[in-house]
A and B are shown apart, each in its own frame.
Chain A
């Protein structure tokens, strides 16, 4: 089987093209003026312009949208990791009363459609006075990022031999010292991947973010759905914003490339 059949290589190449064409088109749109977009159809931009990007960086509605999104994503990621790390350690090292049930229940929250929680979240966060703050969206996103983080981290932690824990005990270190100085540094790769996934899933969510934010904390995903004005859709601007939202993921992916698949599989493949 060393000489692989050409057929599956062909599938890969065709699929690769299918993958890249829409991306090329987004990029190429973002570099055109609206007059060029609406004008005659052409594969390459007739004239390159950075006006769309300049508009985003100079218009407060746009850059504040980015800032709002980043602030709730950052809060969410911090909360998720802080609570998920001890929990994943407990799940990976011990059996305890109700552990399997708890683990399953966490999974149901990762899988629950955000639309189901729309109604009560709106009431809940209005009742506690958090509506229209980044904290509301951050907490709401914990619904799926916390379970995601626990599942992924549990998968990684289970792969670390328990002899390590025992050795630290024999050396007379306190548990806290071992955990902070030995265990976490060893697992920094795993924590990096988890961070990436919490970031990703909070960054891409639209429904809850839109419902829980009013005028003062409008996230970028919402700003993007409102590029429709009286004069029609501003396609160039929309494409430029699209390119900018894709960038963070693309920039970080190189660092977590090794464990990406495991993250997407909820930590279930080695």
Chain B
């Protein structure tokens, strides 16, 4: 497995995503989601909003990395707040 070149941060990252997926699945079994219409232009399920959160977080980070040098933690914070907004009202 040495060719995969694991590092602690990426391992944590993928574990977190894996756990989130497991969590969403468990939640889906006990409290099935409904397609609801929030401030997004289309009706979304919980999983949809989770995906949109991740993808937009990635693009927010890319934008920052391309334009600025410092303060990445601030951006991560902004992404987290945006994700929370999406999950609740998206």
Contacts and interface: CB of A to CB of B under 8 A. Distances in A.
Interface residues on B, range: under 10
A98 B25 CA distance: 8
Interface of A is mostly: helix
B3 A127 contact: yes
A262 B47 CA distance: 29
Contacts of B28: 97-98
A98 B28 CA distance: 9
B3 A123 contact: yes
Contacts, number: 14
A100 B47 CA distance: 10
Contact of A97 (B3, B4, B25, B51): B25
Interface of B is mostly: helix
Nearest to B47: A101
B29 interface: yes
A123 B1 CA distance: 10
A97 B29 contact: yes
Contacts of A124: 3
B43 to A, nearest CB: 13
B35 to A, nearest CB: 10
Interface in A51-106: 97-98, 100-101
A166 to B, nearest CB: 26
A98 B33 CA distance: 11
Contacts of B3: 123-124, 126-127
Nearest to A123: B3
A97 B4 CA distance: 31
Interface in B19-56: 25, 28-29, 47, 51
B66 to A, nearest CB: 19
Nearest to A105: B51
Nearest to A124: B3
Interface in A113-133: 123-124, 126-127
Interface of A: 97-98, 100-101, 123-124, 126-127
Interface of B: 3-4, 25, 28-29, 47, 51
The 5 A-B residue pairs with the shortest CB-CB distance, nearest first, are A123-B3, A127-B3, A101-B47, A97-B28, A97-B25
